[in-house]
């Protein structure tokens, strides 16, 4: 849901609070966490774990998003894609946002500790700190490698889901982590390429601002090649079967095509399409991995 940039058009307080939690981003986080839950077992996930694990992770992710909006409200006011958020518009106050983040995040952590297991709660708390504090407060304003280093927190949701079901974290869960970790740089750098002037105006040291387009375009391609290789690891370790392998090759091949074109013949329109495809890519890759996991004919 979006808040109008015209202050005269009233939006409900609930909608404004919801927007602070970045529901579209959080939906992808919860989706990958649920995939982690489902992949952690050959049978059905216990309903209480699925329900309360999803709710707890959703609440903490929403709290982290709200805290991110709080820290970056001045930057958001300078960028076209974010200036319509409640804090830059002044429709929600700093104190309201801080209270919202604390209540929602605290509620989520309590649910995870009481109704799932302590390991999931502690891993989720570490993810919150990694994103809201280490990435948002420290890395993003200081280094063009912010996305690479900070991507670790964004790659945690399937690990959280795995821990919710099993009470521990195996190497298979870390393979899911690696896929998202490798996906994050080309995903965000595609966005940064066509938003570089806004990042420069906001004094955010994103890679195109500090190292230029040519350097960034090459690294989009290089990291997409890494992603392609990493995405095949579940098949290599027999975590998945041929259905996933074929799907990963097709989806990764399309991503490589976009990345190659960005490197070879860049345009802002192409970068936008690449950014949009990267979201589709990750969603479909994990969906295919899930289908493969539950197919009786899947060779594992």
Q: Verify that 163 and 227 share a domain, yes or no.
A: no
- Is the pLDDT at 99 greater than 50, yes or no? yes
Q: Verify that 140 and 201 share a domain, yes or no.
A: no
pLDDT digits (tens, 9 = 90+) for 227-236: 999 999 999 9
Containing domain of residue 293, as a range? 170-300
pLDDT digits (tens, 9 = 90+) for 28-87: 899 999 999 999 998 889 999 999 999 999 999 999 999 888 888 887 777 777 777 777
- Is the pLDDT at 169 greater than 50, yes or no? yes
Among 89-98, 158-167, 224-233, 287-296, the least confident range: 89-98
Mean pLDDT score of the chain: 88
Q: Verify that 229 and 184 share a domain, yes or no.
A: yes
Amino acid 187: pLDDT: 94
Q: Which residues, including other chains, have CB under 8 Å from residue 6's CB and lie 6 or more apart?
A: none
CATH classification at residue 46: 1.10.357.140
Torsion angles phi and psi, residue 31, rounded to 5: -60, -50
pLDDT digits (tens, 9 = 90+) for 110-141: 999 999 999 999 999 999 998 888 887 877 77
Q: Verify that 28 and 157 share a domain, yes or no.
A: yes
Amino acid 254: pLDDT: 98
Cα-based distances in Å from 141 to 22, 199, 212 = 21, 11, 17
**Count of Cβ atoms closer than 10 Å to residue 10 Cβ:** 10
Tell me which of 119, 139, 169 is where a domain ends: 169
Q: Verify that 47 and 119 share a domain, yes or no.
A: yes
Amino acid 223: pLDDT: 96
Q: Verify that 39 and 184 share a domain, yes or no.
A: no
Q: Verify that 227 and 210 share a domain, yes or no.
A: yes
Share of the chain above pLDDT 90, in %: 62
Q: What is the number of structural domains in the chain?
A: 2
Cα separation, 173 vs 163, whole angstroms: 9
The residue among 180, 214, 216, 186 whose CA lies nearest residue 277 is 186
**153, 135 in Cβ contact below 8 A?**
yes
Q: Which tokens go with 267?
A: 């345009």
Amino acid 134: pLDDT: 85
Amino acid 233: pLDDT: 96
Q: Verify that 255 and 150 share a domain, yes or no.
A: no
Largest CA distance in the chain: 59
Amino acid 88: pLDDT: 81
- Is the pLDDT at 10 greater than 60, yes or no? no
Tell me which of 169, 195, 225 is where a domain ends: 169
Amino acid 75: pLDDT: 77
Amino acid 11: pLDDT: 52
Q: Verify that 20 and 79 share a domain, yes or no.
A: yes
Q: Verify that 162 and 186 share a domain, yes or no.
A: no
Q: Verify that 138 and 273 share a domain, yes or no.
A: no
Q: Verify that 147 and 271 share a domain, yes or no.
A: no
Cα separation, 3 vs 103, whole angstroms: 22
pTM, to two decimals: 0.85
Amino acid 298: pLDDT: 45
Tell me which of 169, 201, 218 is where a domain ends: 169
CATH classification at residue 287: 1.20.120
Amino acid 25: pLDDT: 87
pLDDT digits (tens, 9 = 90+) for 177-203: 999 999 999 999 999 999 888 888 878
């Amino acid at each position: 849901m979006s808040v109008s940039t015209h202050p005269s058009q009233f939006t409900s307080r609930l909608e404004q609070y919801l927007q602070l939690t970045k529901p579209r981003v959080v939906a992808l986080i919860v989706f990958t966490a649920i995939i982690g839950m489902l992949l952690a077992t050959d049978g059905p996930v216990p309903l209480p774990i699925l329900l309360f694990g999803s709710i707890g992770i959703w609440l903490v992710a929403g709290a982290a998003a709200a805290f991110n909006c709080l820290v970056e409200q001045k930057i958001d006011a300078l960028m076209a894609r974010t200036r319509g958020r409640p804090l830059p518009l002044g429709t929600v106050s700093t104190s309201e946002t801080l209270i919202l983040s604390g209540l929602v995040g605290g509620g989520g952590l309590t649910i995870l500790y009481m109704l799932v297991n302590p390991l999931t709660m502690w891993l989720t708390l570490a993810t919150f700190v990694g994103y809201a504090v280490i990435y948002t407060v420290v890395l993003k304003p200081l280094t063009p490698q912010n996305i690479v280093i900070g991507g670790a927190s964004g790659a945690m949701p399937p690990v959280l889901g795995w821990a919710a079901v099993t009470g521990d974290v195996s190497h298979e869960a870390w393979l899911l982590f690696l896929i998202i970790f490798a996906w994050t740089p080309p995903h965000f750098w595609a966005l940064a390429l066509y938003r570089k002037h806004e990042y420069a105006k906001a004094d955010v040291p994103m890679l195109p601002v500090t190292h230029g387009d040519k350097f960034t375009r090459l690294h989009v391609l290089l990291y997409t090649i890494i992603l392609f290789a990493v995405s095949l690891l579940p098949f290599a370790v027999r975590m998945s079967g041929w259905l996933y392998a074929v799907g990963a090759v097709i989806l990764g091949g399309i991503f490589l095509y976009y990345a190659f074109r960005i490197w070879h013949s860049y345009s802002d329109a192409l970068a936008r399409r690449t950014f949009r495809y990267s979201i589709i890519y990750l969603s479909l890759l994990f969906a295919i991995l899930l289908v493969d996991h539950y197919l009786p004919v899947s060779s594992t």
